[in-house]
Amino acid sequence: MLVISLRSFGMSAVLAGLLALFGAGVAVARPAPALANLAVVKPVMDCAALASADVSDAVGAKTTISSAKLSGSGDQAFCAVQGVIAPKIRFELRLPTAGWTQRYLQVGCGGLCGVLSIRTEHADGCTPVKDGAIALASTDMGHEGKGGMAAMGDGAFGADPQARIDFAYRGVHLTSVASKALIARFYGQAPRYSYFSGCSDGGREALMEAQRFPGDFDGIAAGAPAMVFTVQNSFYHAWQARSNMDAAGKAILVASRLPILHAAALASCDAVDGLEDGQIDDPRACRFDPVVAQCKPGQASDACLTPAEVETARKLYDGPRDAAGKAFTLGQPQVGSELSWAGVFVPRSADQVPGSWGMAEQPVKYVLSQTNPPADYSLADFKFTPEQFAGLSWAHGLYDATDTDLSAFAAKGGKLILWHGWSDPHISPLNTIAYRNGVVAELGQAKADAMMRLFLFPGLYHCFGGDGLSQFDIVSPLMAWVEAGAAPNAVVAAKVDMPAMTGPPPAGADVRQAPMPDASALKPERVRPVYAYPQVAAYTGSGSIDAPENFAPKTPASEPAVRDAYAAQFIAPRFHQDCRVEAGALACAPSKP
């Protein structure tokens, strides 16, 4: 979950510029598979006429169109439709007026949502998206937060039990139903292919669709999914925030000290993968003790860490445990991710409250608790105990998207691409690995391989940005898999020199008004293939280490086991609950197969 992060900057214009700069280089590893050659379909009615369209029967809930008007120009012109699905699910749909090629893409919403915004992610090399030939939609998931993009961290909506249901799964699903009904009205036919792409909570939404509503989408891309929502937005961020605060409430480790820790991590682990290249391909293979960065007697502290800082770093890497030493979380931030901690659980000054504080306090106060705590509840009251875990576990069947039984999605021919950055500070990539392995255990290797791939990007932060392979197109290979049967076994990614975008914006910044970097000044420093898990990219021994043709897939001899943790019980099949509101409270029962 995130409140404000790199992906909030509206990165599409920057990334489009990057692709123009090195698009040819990104494609050198293998030709991009062709998509289906679909005919262009023209509208059969005026855009304005959609304002009076009633698709309530198709949606199964009162659906009101609040506006339908033309926007854009030329090949990028579209009919912008906004509406409300009862009671409060706002959605937006963009329908191309000149060149629709029978495709529909719904995009996810980050954090706790509450914002209506269409932002395509890692799709700027995708021809239908680039050409404005695809219908696009998104939703605020049933509530409207306060404070612009900062609303994505506002959990007050949880006081309304219906809003909890709409956020958990209903808003995204009904938006897909409403959008397809409006598409059928506008063009006289339904979309030939439907896709969903999201990151962070958008990744959770993506998986929820595959698990609960397997017929909604043909292809789904789930990035850095906040699928273990009940643990991620409580135990994980609560621990990260409180572990970096001293008895006086001051931050122990601040952002200016992170380069020291990161340099020590690279010195210890960079060469473990066989290539000393400034990136750690699989942090699980590394055994790093931050004590190597601790100041020696007489050493100036500007080049090393204090004992308190070292101990704090240890806690951040390891995560919350009970009194007997059992972990609560499946994973923590990985070695090599240190620079991404800035602005999340490592503030820029000792007087700032870590961002993780609000990322846990808001959900615990308003969204995760069966009965909300008193108004004066603070994250300082949170207990890292089995009893606290049990008290929040009721929400697992409502919010979590970790159901490993994807048999219905697979039976319909659905394709799923999971992706995550090894340097994500918000959500550990070990969660996504555990889920992928759980699906394999449930379906068997052959069936899982026929419908699912996982890609892990070294140096990628949360959804966007990073000091490693942060730029890639994930939607094109998803479409090619669905439409042409071309299973993606590799994604070519680039490391981009973007120093001004290496961390979240300052607290309170309106990221919608943030100036965009000059795309012409951005150059790729490295282009490499990222192979489908568990394979990794191995240097062939000759040629540039920054060129993709000099790497080949390699399967590691063994895979580290998922650690024993309370959250491991949530990676399981068939646990979802369907909920409704009775007498002002949630009433839930096991979902029907």
Domains of the chain, start order: 6-227+402-428+444-514 (3.40.50)
Residue located via tokens 């029962």: 589
Identify the CA nearest to 486 among candidates 532, 546, 524: 532
Please tell me the predicted confidence (pLDDT) of residue 482.
Answer: 98
The encoded tokens of residue 285 equal 């293979």
One-letter amino acid for residue 352 of the chain: Q
Q: Which residues of the chain have pLDDT under 50?
A: 1-30, 149, 499-521
CB neighbours of residue 491 within 10 Å: 24
What is the pLDDT at residue 520? 38
pLDDT at 509: 37
List % helix, strand, coil for the chain (3-state, nearest 5).
Answer: 40, 20, 40
Scan for tokens 């918000």, then name that residue: 426
Neighbours of 20 (CB within 10 A): 12
* Cα–Cα dist 398/171, whole Å: 13
Residues in the chain: 593
Can you tell me whether residue 343 is helix, strand or coil?
coil
Rounded Cα distance between 465 and 459, Å, is 9
- Residue 150: predicted pLDDT: 55
**Burial (CB count <10 Å: 0-12, 13-18, 19+), residue 456:** buried
pTM value surpassing 0.85: yes
Across-strand partners of 469?
495
215: tokens are 């017929």
Distance CA 462, CA 6 (A): 8
Q: Positive or negative CA dihedral for 318, 321, 325, 327? A: negative
Compute how many other C-beta atoms are within 10 angstroms of the C-beta atom of residue 579.
Answer: 21
- The torsion angles phi and psi of 136, rounded to 5 degrees, stand at -125, 145
> Which phi-psi region, left, alpha or beta, contains residue 224 (left: φ > 0; alpha: ψ -120 to 50)?
left
Q: What pLDDT was estimated at residue 535? A: 97
**H or E segment to which residue 199 belongs:** strand 193-199
**Are 160 and 584 in contact, with CB atoms under 8 Å apart?**
no
Residue 565 near residue 320, CB atoms below 8 Å = no
Count CB-CB contacts under 10 A for residue 16.
Answer: 16
- The conformational region for residue 329 under phi > 0 = left, psi -120 to 50 = alpha, else beta, is beta
3-state secondary structure at position 430? helix
Instruction: Using DSSP, state whether 393 is helix, strand or coil.
Output: helix
